[in-house]
Amino acid sequence: MADTSLITTNGQRTEQHTPYVAYGTTGLKQFGGRIAEEYLRAWKSGQKVKTIQEMQSDAVIAASLLVYEMLIRQVSWDFEAAGPDNVAQEHAAFAREVWFQDHQTAWTNVVSEILTMLSWGFAPLQMVLKRRSGENRDPDLHSQFSDRRIGIGQLFLHGQETVDHWFIDTAHGGRLEGFEQMDLYGGGRYAIAIDRLLLFRTRVVKGNPEGGASILRGAYLPWYHKKNYDVLQGIGIERDTAGLHVIRVPKVIMEDTGHVAIYDAYKKMAVNLRNDEQAGLVLPSDRDDQGHLYYDVERLGGVGAASRIDIGKAIEQKNLEILLAMMTDVLIVGHEKIGSFALASSKTSLLSTALGSILDIITEGINRQGMPRLWRVNGFPTETMPHMIHGDVEYQSLEEVANFILRLSQAGFQVDDLEPEVRRRTGFPLRVEERV
């Protein structure tokens, strides 16, 4: 008899359900496959695309995202064999060929597309298979190998802004079945099944297919305020440089309804007067009985006019908050004598830890989604399936490595087997027999 669990509602027994079938839902807020977990209007489905694209153009955010990408792109990648036997080793070599050599896009560029999940919270890449049948004029079919095994023809990103809604089976615990893509330019719609996808997410809560953990989300409020401060600063600089212009006109111009058009023209002139196409004015030279000009222009304030609020300082503070939210404040350590070497070292280590977690997300996505599918279509036994591993983002200094090995040697530790790893970490070339 199958194991069952008693279900009660308001203290009353209702029915029993097997624990081998999902019952209930995750509680994910979604309507028709559109995720509604966010409470800020700017981050809801209708505005999210515009918000992210605008934030990505900010200099501080763009620099932070570039740091993430450049540091991760230089990391080494490999496949670790499932065992020491020849079959496991040969299958590890096959995995390297498939993922790193024999598809249309360079692996580093695939990594860049995966890293779009940092801004969006998720990155859906389609994994298109091909049979390795050697040379072919069709780039989708061409292969460097001719063993007739199934490899990968393409790995490409479905732009997050084109994801219209998700297919979620709420009857089975929120099982994700795929999404519908809306081609913004061609006008077509495509239903993409989950078994064609590698779905990378920065975080998974309640089964949210969009991850819900964009690193831009925490930086949104300081970025929003900074954007407004930038506008005010530009206006302030212009006003401080050009001053505030006052145009004096006869009282009759302001009071007589017959002079409304003239009055409006002078008002626009006062607002728009600056050192560009409005640099010059032509005014009547008529004077009243006391010799005063009927029309006159005066500039109040001018260059260097003092402000009680330092907007530049406020913008710097918001930049710092953005960097803190994105864990990239190490970029300003030393800038304007901020921080020390020791502080920079600790902050770099913290950033490296965050980058290591992102690398783990990538390798886990390949190992849990991509590799099982590849092994199934080739009919390989599961026990020979290798798993992807990644190198370190940050390497120890040569002095630290040398001192560590010296201490191990003095303690009687056999260090001969460490030579290949030492060569990798120090950047020295591997011995010929160690190269893969």
pLDDT tens digits in sequence order for the chain, 436 residues long: 455 555 565 656 555 567 777 777 888 888 888 888 888 889 987 789 999 999 999 999 999 999 999 999 989 999 999 999 999 999 999 999 999 999 888 999 999 999 999 999 999 999 999 999 999 998 888 999 999 999 999 999 999 999 999 999 877 777 899 999 998 777 789 999 999 999 999 998 888 999 878 999 999 999 999 999 888 887 777 666 666 677 777 777 777 777 788 878 878 877 776 655 556 666 776 777 777 776 777 766 654 444 567 888 889 899 999 999 998 887 776 555 444 444 445 556 778 888 999 999 999 999 999 999 999 999 999 999 999 999 887 656 667 667 777 887 888 787 777 777 777 666 677 776 555 5
Confidence (pLDDT) at 1? 45
Confidence (pLDDT) at 130? 94
Confidence (pLDDT) at 293? 75
Confidence (pLDDT) at 5? 55
Confidence (pLDDT) at 110? 95
Q: Which residues pair with 98 in a beta bridge?
A: none
| Distance (Å) of CA 272 to CA 123, 239, 246, 254, 298 | 47, 11, 11, 19, 14
Nearest to 200 by CA among 133, 289, 115: 115
Neighbouring residues of 378: CB distance < 8 A, sequence distance ≥ 6: 149, 150
Q: Where are the domains of the chain?
A: 41-219+357-390, 397-436
- φ, ψ of residue 141 in degrees (nearest 5): -110, -15
| Distance (Å) of CA 436 to CA 88, 182, 432 | 15, 43, 9
Confidence (pLDDT) at 227? 92
Confidence (pLDDT) at 195? 93
| Distance (Å) of CA 236 to CA 114, 141, 243, 405 | 41, 60, 10, 60
Confidence (pLDDT) at 371? 97
Neighbouring residues of 339: CB distance < 8 A, sequence distance ≥ 6: 332, 333, 347
Confidence (pLDDT) at 334? 54
Confidence (pLDDT) at 384? 96
Confidence (pLDDT) at 303? 47
Confidence (pLDDT) at 9? 57
Beta-sheet pairing, 122-131 with 77-80: unpaired
Alpha-carbon span 391 to 435, nearest angstrom: 16
Provide the 3-class DSSP secondary structure of residue 97: helix
Confidence (pLDDT) at 331? 76
Alpha-carbon span 54 to 49, nearest angstrom: 9
Neighbouring residues of 367: CB distance < 8 A, sequence distance ≥ 6: 387, 388
